[in-house]
């Protein structure tokens, strides 16, 4: 048996966690630079606010209906997610973190599943304050179905007996099945396949011919045949990227240097966290494609790293050189994108006889920076090239405090 645990309206729930006055108030969370809606509470959904709704267009509506608006706060969401996953891990030896607000757990061999998952749910809610839904089934796809149905029930649902599964699938829309995309859903509806039950009644030969191996896996999973095992160890990453839009467009080269340095530093920190080194870097500049009256350009450069590295000074040196090569005057840029490819484990780095290597000293510097930033807070120690209070930073006018990651912003009682 497999369980899928999903945090309900996760971003909105994180914002409510420290602001109980918003528990019955509609909430929306905005994307980077407060651009569009990326998360909604149930109350906001009932008002008809769609996902990706542009904030500037919906602002009058949000104000008229007294909707609470928050800027996306990924530091807070990541920390709360880690707390939720830590609590869940106590209940199963097999766990796969699928996303920031979802995970699969193995429940094969567990007795009294109804009571067990109810206890799990109550424990997580009590310890973290984040509401969750739990769906359990013989396969991942059936666990997904159970999870969606659990949101409309008491918060948890176990699909174990054949008659339970058939009843659940008979009213489950085909477009809501995990892995069925829009095009496949429309195609299936044209031949009378409207529910998950209809889909699994199709001949396997038809599915194999028209939907390839992915469709066959879904078909088998809906029949209770596991094809998607729980992954205890994630697949090796092939690339990492750091890219955020600026709070405003800029043609200032010095500001672009600061942004490139800052994004590269974040990228290097990600690489060290994953214990990976990169052999190729990429820097890309982007103008605002929605500004019709402005000239558009998207210059990019790929930079080889002769000795694979993940230390901040070395990678920043490479990306600043790349920025210098691609910068074009006369354009206003909205975003810089820094990416790392050709990733290999730290212990597999090979040195060259023909290139001077100063990595050991630079690695020690980066390690010290990580320790100090972990102890004193992110950004406590950084390279001068990253700048101080940059003008290009993200626009986040509705940002919540760092309740769980900064001692200066912790809630005070009394």
Q: Higher confidence at residue 236 or residue 142?
A: 142
> What backbone phi and psi angles, to 5 degrees, belong to 185?
-60, -45
**Lowest-pLDDT range of 58-62, 66-70, 119-123, 243-247:** 243-247
| pLDDT at residue 32 in the model | 84
**Could you tell me the pLDDT band of residue 198, with boundaries at 50, 70 and 90?**
very high
Encode pLDDT of 23-77 as tens digits. 889 999 998 888 899 999 999 999 999 999 999 999 999 999 999 999 999 889 9
- pLDDT of residue 251 exceeding 70, the answer is yes
| pLDDT at residue 393 in the model | 75
The model carries a pTM of 0.78
| pLDDT at residue 37 in the model | 93
Cα(73)–Cα(31) distance, integer angstroms: 9
| pLDDT at residue 365 in the model | 84
Q: Higher confidence at residue 408 or residue 137?
A: 137
| pLDDT at residue 355 in the model | 61
Q: Enumerate domains of the chain plus CATH numbers.
A: 1-138 (3.30.70.270), 161-235 (1.10.150.20), 239-386 (3.30.1490.100)
| pLDDT at residue 353 in the model | 62
If one counts every other C-beta atom within 10 angstroms of the C-beta of residue 240, the result is 19
**Could you tell me the pLDDT band of residue 96, with boundaries at 50, 70 and 90?**
very high
Cα(131)–Cα(391) distance, integer angstroms: 38
Contact 64, 110 (CB under 8 A): no
**Could you tell me the pLDDT band of residue 128, with boundaries at 50, 70 and 90?**
very high
- pLDDT of residue 354 exceeding 70, the answer is no
CA angle 197, 132, 148 (to 5 degrees): 15
Encode pLDDT of 318-341 as tens digits. 999 999 999 999 889 988 999 999
**Could you tell me the pLDDT band of residue 352, with boundaries at 50, 70 and 90?**
low
Span between the terminal Cα atoms of the chain, in Å: 47
| pLDDT at residue 339 in the model | 94
| pLDDT at residue 58 in the model | 93
CA gyration radius for the chain? Answer: 24
| pLDDT at residue 370 in the model | 85
- pLDDT of residue 363 exceeding 80, the answer is yes
Average pLDDT, the chain: 88
| pLDDT at residue 358 in the model | 67
Q: What's the average model confidence in pLDDT over 137-151?
A: 93
């Amino acid at each position: 048996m497999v369980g899928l645990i999903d945090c309900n309206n996760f971003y909105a729930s994180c914002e409510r966690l420290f602001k109980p006055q918003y528990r019955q108030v509609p909430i929306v969370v905005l994307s980077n630079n407060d651009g569009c809606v990326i998360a909604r509470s149930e109350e906001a959904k009932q008002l008809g606010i769609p996902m990706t709704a542009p904030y500037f267009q919906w602002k009058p509506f949000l104000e008229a209906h007294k909707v609470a608006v928050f800027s996306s706060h990924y530091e807070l969401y990541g920390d709360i997610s880690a707390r939720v996953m830590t609590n869940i891990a106590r209940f199963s030896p097999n766990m796969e973190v699928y996303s920031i607000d979802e995970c699969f757990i193995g429940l094969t061999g567990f007795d009294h599943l109804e009571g067990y998952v109810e206890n799990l749910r109550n424990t997580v809610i009590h310890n973290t304050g984040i509401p969750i839904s739990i769906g359990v089934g013989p396969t991942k796809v059936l666990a997904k179905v159970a999870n969606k149905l659990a949101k409309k029930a008491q918060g948890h649902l176990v699909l174990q007996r054949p008659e339970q599964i058939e009843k659940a699938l008979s009213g489950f829309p085909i477009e809501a099945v995990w892995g069925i995309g829009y095009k496949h859903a429309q195609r299936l509806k044209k031949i009378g396949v409207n529910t998950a039950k209809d889909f699994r009644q199709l001949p396997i030969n038809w599915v194999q011919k028209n939907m390839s191996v992915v469709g066959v896996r879904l078909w088998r999973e809906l029949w209770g045949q596991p094809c998607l095992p729980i992954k205890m160890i994630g697949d090796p990453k092939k690339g990492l990227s750091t890219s955020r839009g600026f709070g405003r467009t800029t043609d200032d080269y010095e500001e672009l240097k600061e942004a490139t340095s800052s994004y590269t530093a974040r990228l290097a920190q990600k690489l060290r966290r994953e214990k990976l080194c990169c052999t190729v870097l990429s820097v890309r500049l982007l103008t605002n494609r929605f500004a019709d009256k402005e000239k558009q350009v998207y210059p990019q450069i790929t930079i080889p790293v002769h000795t694979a590295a993940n230390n901040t000074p070395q990678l920043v040196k490479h990306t600043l050189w790349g920025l210098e090569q691609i910068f074009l005057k006369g354009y206003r840029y909205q975003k810089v994108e820094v990416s790392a490819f050709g990733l290999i484990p730290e212990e597999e780095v090979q040195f060259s006889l023909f290139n001077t290597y100063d990595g050991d000293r630079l690695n020690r510097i980066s390690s010290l920076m990580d320790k100090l930033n972990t102890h004193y807070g992110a950004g406590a120690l950084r390279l001068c090239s990253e700048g101080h209070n940059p003008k290009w930073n993200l626009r986040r006018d509705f940002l919540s405090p760092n309740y769980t990651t900064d001692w200066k912003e912790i809630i005070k009682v009394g």
